Structure 1
Amino acid sequence: MNRRAFLAGAAAAGAASLSGCAGILSAGSPSSEDGNFDVGMGSSFFKPRELTIRVGETVVWKNTGMRRHTVTAYENAIPESADYFASGGFDSEQAARDAWVDGYGGTVQQNNTYGYTFDVPGTYAYFCVPHEPSGMSGKIIVEE
């Protein structure tokens, strides 16, 4: 077999494979065109990871990936006077964690959304229960 022909074919096949990966990697990006969500949830990330909003605004998370996700506040990393939030409506971080373990409670399914209105200024840290070990966390900064 002609070595140059083989290498050219291998290079073309590799480029085609990588171009398909680019579409997968961008699948978790929020779409400014449709504007129906603020934070996308990919395989094990929130995008953007940090978002700044004004008091009274609602943030909408959308599961743009193919895995189950949650939006779960770190109870000790939200403003003291703020209400706790988590997809599934749980009153505490432990309740959200327990519900996930007991049957995937709080799941935001593929192509579904979860929204929360932030009424207290400050910084809110949150995470995805099943993907927390992979570093799936984010932050909302609420300004006056």
Structure 2
Amino acid sequence: MNRRVYLAAVGTAASAGLAGCSSVLNVFDDDDGPCAGDECDIGMSRNEFLPESYTASVGETVVWKNTSGAVHTVTALEDQIPDDADYFASGGYEDEETAIDAWHDHGGGGINTRETYEHTFEVPGTYAYICEPHVGAGMIGEIVVE
């Protein structure tokens, strides 16, 4: 086999095979973050919310999107949300204990790759939340509602 022809073919195949990879890598390198194009407000990498802190207006619906290959949750910390605020968690659970137990019992509240979760914030204040399966790795976020 002609070495130059072989190398040209391998180079072309490698370039074609990697062509789609740059867009996947750029999801997190892009200045607009993983939610460019208004598909979501907060993305999720392997172990972090992107951005970690998000500012919303009263009445705004915030959309999280799993932009990674891991399953995640959005689980509010009851003692770190405003007193008059509604509790929120992916899976629709009404309190933190139920949301966490559901995850550990059967993966309840899991957000799979490319799926979204949304919540409308009606009360101003700071809301802390976690990804239950990755909280040990520091996957913690906050919403500041003004």
TM score, norm. by length of structure 2 = 0.79
Q: How does 1:29-108 map to 2 (within 5 A)?
A: 29-32=33-36, 34-108=37-111
Distance 1:24 1:134, change over 3 A: farther
Identity %: 50
Structure 1 stretches lacking a partner, 5+ long = 1-19
Structure 1 residues 58, 38: CA separation in 2 closer, same or farther (over 3 Å shift)? same
Return the offset for 1:27. Answer: 7.3
Cα pair distance change 1:27/1:132, threshold 3 Å: farther
Contact 1:72 1:93 in 2 (8 A): yes
Work out whether 1:26 is the aligned partner of 2:28.
yes
Runs of 4+ aligned residues of structure 1 deviating over 4 Å after TM superposition are none
Shift of 1:24: 7.6
**Post-superposition shift, 1:31?**
3.0
- CA shift at 1:23, angstroms? 1.9
Q: Shift of residue 30 of structure 1? A: 2.2
TM-score calculated relative to the size of structure 1 = 0.80
Report what 2:145 is aligned to.
142
